Structure 1
Amino acid sequence: MPAQKVTFDKGVDDFFQLLHRIENIPAFDLGWSMAGFSLWNQSQEYVEYLRGSLPEQDNDGSYFSVGINDDAKSRLGVEKVFYNFRYYSDNLGAQLTGEIRAPHPSRGAQVQNYIELLDIVTQWKRPMHVRFGPRLYNMEHHPLDRARLGIGWLGWVPFNLDPLSVPEAEIVRPMNGGSLVVTQTELWQAGEGQPHYSNAAIERAQEVEIRLNLLGVLPTGVEIARGDWGHL
């Protein structure tokens, strides 16, 4: 996301608005909690906890970090946390990260739910780049220079792409002033022995990323840090 000055209170309000939208997606309906707080029942207490955890020099509001985990453990009686989101912002820019640690306990991992997630995120604040997929793929199978960001399983780029220009991808379509790119609709994982491991899917993702790089729509970390990637 482009660099902008965001106060702590504004950042928390923005993030909470995003979480309200996300929890309307069927795959993300398990509720939110963090640091022992049930978010919507104890939102003020949670905000004060966050404010108190800031380094003293950051209390001017130029920095804030908000992390959220779902409360599936208490509601479902399981140990595994299914997903979490974290929003970080300072005067150099902002970053939203999310981790899906297991499929939804009853709904599984349907690609449409993740497409809806990207739709909500790219409406919320126009990003410079979105990458979503297995962390292991990025670490061990990324086909480009490590400085250049790919898209993993699915992602979004701030450019209008003709679907015919990326024939390796299963889905390429307009989304909120840019393009959604899905390597394939079926979930895949990058670790041998994982239940959805697929070498063919890894190779397909690599082909998609190589094509996107040839089209000039994948940024480097330096271009993202500059703050104006994909923005006129």
Structure 2
Amino acid sequence: MLGIIGGTGLTKLANLKIKRRQIVRTPYGEPSGPLTYGDICGYEVIFLPRHGHGHTIPPHIVNYRANIWALHAEGVRDIVSVASVGGIHPRLDPGVIALPDQIIDYTHGRKNTYYDGGDLPVKHIDFTMPYSDRLRNLCLEAATNISESIIDGGVYACVQGPRLETAAEINRLERDGATMVGMTGMPEAALARELDMHYAAICPVANHAAGRGSSAKGIQYDNMGDVLNKTMQRVRNLIERVVVGHAC
């Protein structure tokens, strides 16, 4: 089954016909909210808003372990995540949709593994390629089928949040090879890998990163919200086609 994790700007899926909502208990506490069961174009999916239905959970407080565990417990084996980002690379202007193929983790203090000295033996995962090639290709094919432009590839820098970055920090991330910056990509991707789940991220660009383009002298929140709202409609259309392709 396909699971969809929504981030900032995607607390609900307008094209999801809801069948039921279910609270799932996990050994790691409460997920961000009840899992929403529904269908898109007649195909069943499970949706979970990462920040809660009222967008009240900041990125450093999200219970990533509970979220991924709950989806796995309900039969999800493939996850498509939606995670808004700031664009570092010149091609990543606000309104662009990117599909990263690499990630760098700058977070700290997050519960980032299921194998932390409890009852489970230590498991070392291969994280060379953090995103599923199969799901990435599915997203790329979906974009082609609806004539949606999407940037194939990129390096997602996952920072702690909830504050945005300084211009100097963005310069550092760029020197490290990052092309976009967000706050929720880790440990989500690694936890999915630990449970042998396939995972890919669709990343709409909400703004230029600090010190870049229109954010050279500061990030304009009003503009960011307007851009993200418009881009999310395109993301919903893309997800719809991904769901159809996943079922076929």
Calculate the TM-score normalised by the size of structure 1: 0.34
Larger radius of gyration: 1
Higher relative contact order (CA 8 A, sep 6+): 2
Calculate the TM-score normalised by the size of structure 2: 0.32
